[in-house]
Amino acid sequence: MNRIPQHIAIIMDGNGRWAMDRGLDRTFGHKAGLDNLEKITTYCSNLGVKYLTVYAFSIENFNRPAYEVEALMGLVLSFFKMDLFHNNNVSFHVAGDVDRLPQSVQDKLHSMEEETAKHDGMAITIAMSYSAKQEIVNAAKRIARKVQSGEMSIDEIGEDTINENLWTSWMPDPDLLIRTGGEVRISNFLLWQCAYSEFYFCDAYWPDFSEEEFYKAIASYQNRQRRYGKTEAQIEAEEANN
């Protein structure tokens, strides 16, 4: 229990394929996926995870069939139950180009942020209308404007400057990135933030990502040594001193 990742990021992949394997429309998979997100949120909160960030809808997802995009937006409006956040003392946040979303969805997301703002337990962030490349481009533009206006000089720009201008500026980088659905890539998700994250890929589709599968991911993380460029001997000496 002393090696629980403080920040877990999840690419919730495989919803559509889960539904198609059952002869259902893809939208049923997205509904099942959101139902599973409720369970995983509770597992994370109970385990002592401080931050959970999930990839719900990318900017590229706007290229999907219009009916599927519309259904996903409808699920956002109808799914999130405030009891989940109130009962677990969880605060809700959103990261992404929210202005691209329908106004009704924007209003819903912002109202959830406001209603859970005082919760001081785990923080869950939904990446909606999200693109890591776009996030970095936006950060570069904000920094360039500050240089242009004289607020800062080019020589003052460092890693912290980038961090402070990202959509995720208020949270630490993920310790563990989980992707379900059998794909082995991170698909334009948290590219800057995952520089030193541990990755865990599994074949289970997201609706089938059970409590057991979740704990397998945690156990895999706990059996790794995070060195950040140091040697194994250095890390072991530091751990012994602590």
Catalytically annotated residue among 13, 15, 36, 175: 13
For residues 55 and 130, the answer to whether their CB atoms sit within 8 Å is yes
Looking at the chain, the number of H-run helices and the number of E-run strands are 9, 6
Rounded to two decimals, the pTM is 0.93
Helix (H), strand (E) at residue 55: strand 51-58
| Residue-level pLDDT at 93 | 95
Residues of the chain with pLDDT under 50: none
Note the pLDDT of residue 82: 80
Q: What is the pLDDT of residues 125-174, one digit of tens each?
A: 999 999 999 999 999 999 999 999 999 999 999 999 999 999 999 999 99
In the residue annotation, 13 being an active-site residue is answered as: yes
155 catalytic residue (yes or no): no
Q: Is the dihedral of CA 30, 35, 40, 45 positive or negative?
A: positive
Of 25, 61, 163, 173, catalytic: 61
- DSSP conformation class of 156: G
> How far is it, in rounded angstroms, from Cα 124 to Cα 188?
19
Distance separating alpha carbons of residues 229 and 198, to the nearest angstrom? 14
Phi-psi region at 165: left, alpha or beta (left = phi > 0; alpha = psi -120 to 50): alpha
